[in-house]
Amino acid sequence: MVGDSTVVGTDDLSDCIVEDSECILNDGGVRELLSERRGTRVFDYQSGDSVFEARKAVVGFYLICQGVVKEVSHSMGGETVTLNVLMRGDLLFGDDFFLGNNYRETAAESVTEAKVLLIEKELFPDLMKVAGEKLGKKAGQNMKSLRRRLELEDCSVLKSTAFWLARLIAGSEKPFSISNKELSDIVGCSPVTISRKLRELQDKGLIVKDGQDISIENRNKMANLVDCKELP
């Protein structure tokens, strides 16, 4: 694993809390458990750093404190496919965590500078006792995003761009700042292609782009474009 790490402290947990009722760190019992027990570390990543690698041991799951992280798979042809994009407050488990596999079949890396909380898998049963409902919902969100991506696997670059933008901007009234290179890495195309697709979305009146800041102008039309009743 690449990245500078420190043993978790109270201040680190405070930095990871988001204004979301489903954030597990809003639960005092969770914060107490993670502060008192070994098995939780905070990692700081630069853009492009590896969070975990395929064929490496499954050591736990991850809470995104800051920045953007993507989970990817690598095909036999060498193609990298984005499975999920996670932001502040999201939990990253990966299929292997729930399947009981000892080794990862996917990989994860930071899209931007990121701070990530690693929670070792041995703590999961105790966390379920304290905050089982919240953990269950967050795990469900992981699986829902994966299912939607699989449904879009053979779709056009334009639809993929719309889908991942909707995921990145979900629930926010503020523009999301991301470079063409970072977005192209998520979608799986070149920065030149992503620039063209963003202009197309803007021409359709679906997004507003100002430099690196992007906001969704019409969520209903965006949902229709990606053929789903509800954006992620």
173 vs 217: CA distance, rounded Å: 10
In a domain, 181, yes or no: yes
- What dihedral do alpha carbons 137, 214, 159, 95 form, nearest 10°? -30
Percent of residues in the chain assigned helix, strand, coil, to nearest 5: 40, 25, 35
| Same domain flag for 101 and 184 | no
Query: What is the per-residue pLDDT for 230?
Result: 46
Strand partners, 120: 60
**Paired residues of 92 in beta bridges:** 62
Degrees, nearest 5: CA angle 152-63-138: 55
Q: Which domain holds residue 92?
A: 4-139
DSSP 133: H
What's the confidence (pLDDT) of residue 147? 59
Strands (E), 53-167: 60-66, 69-74, 80-86, 91-92, 107-110, 114-120
Residue 118 lies in a domain: yes
Q: Beta-strand (E) ranges in 79-188? A: 80-86, 91-92, 107-110, 114-120, 176-177
Residue 24 CA to residue 135 CA, distance in Å, equals 7
Do 130 and 22 lie in one domain? The reply is yes
- Residue 212 inside a domain? The answer is yes
C-alpha distance from residue 166 to each of 13, 110, 143, 204 (Å): 28, 19, 17, 15
The reply to whether 220 falls in a domain is: yes
Spatial CA neighbour of 134 closest among 71, 86, 90: 90
Tens digit of each residue's pLDDT, the chain (232 residues): 455 556 566 666 777 777 777 788 888 888 888 888 777 888 999 999 999 998 889 889 999 989 999 998 876 566 777 888 888 888 898 767 766 778 888 899 999 999 999 999 888 888 888 888 888 777 777 666 665 665 666 678 888 888 888 878 776 677 888 889 889 888 888 999 999 999 999 999 999 999 999 998 888 888 788 765 444 4
Residues 130 and 18 in one domain: yes
pLDDT at 192: 94
Q: Hey, what long-range contacts does 76-84 have (CB within 8 A, 24 or more apart)?
A: 79/188, 80/188, 81/153, 81/188, 82/149, 82/164, 82/185, 82/186, 82/187, 82/188, 83/145, 83/146, 83/149, 84/142, 84/145, 84/146, 84/149
Q: Give the angle 196-178-76 at the CA atoms, nearest 5°.
A: 70
CATH code for the domain in which residue 82 is found: 2.60.120.10
**Together in a domain, 163 and 120:** no
Do residues 62 and 174 both lie within one domain? no
Are 39 and 100 in contact by the 8 Å Cβ rule? The answer is no
Q: What is the model's pLDDT at position 231?
A: 47
State residue 222's pLDDT score.
Answer: 83
Residue 170: give its domain's CATH number: 1.10.10.10
Verify that 120 and 193 share a domain, yes or no.
Answer: no
Q: Are residues 127 and 208 in the same domain?
A: no
Q: Same domain for 215 and 118?
A: no
**Tokens 């053929």 correspond to what residue?**
227
The predicted model scores a pTM of 0.72
For residues 198 and 161, the answer to whether their CB atoms sit within 8 Å is yes
Domain tally, the chain: 2
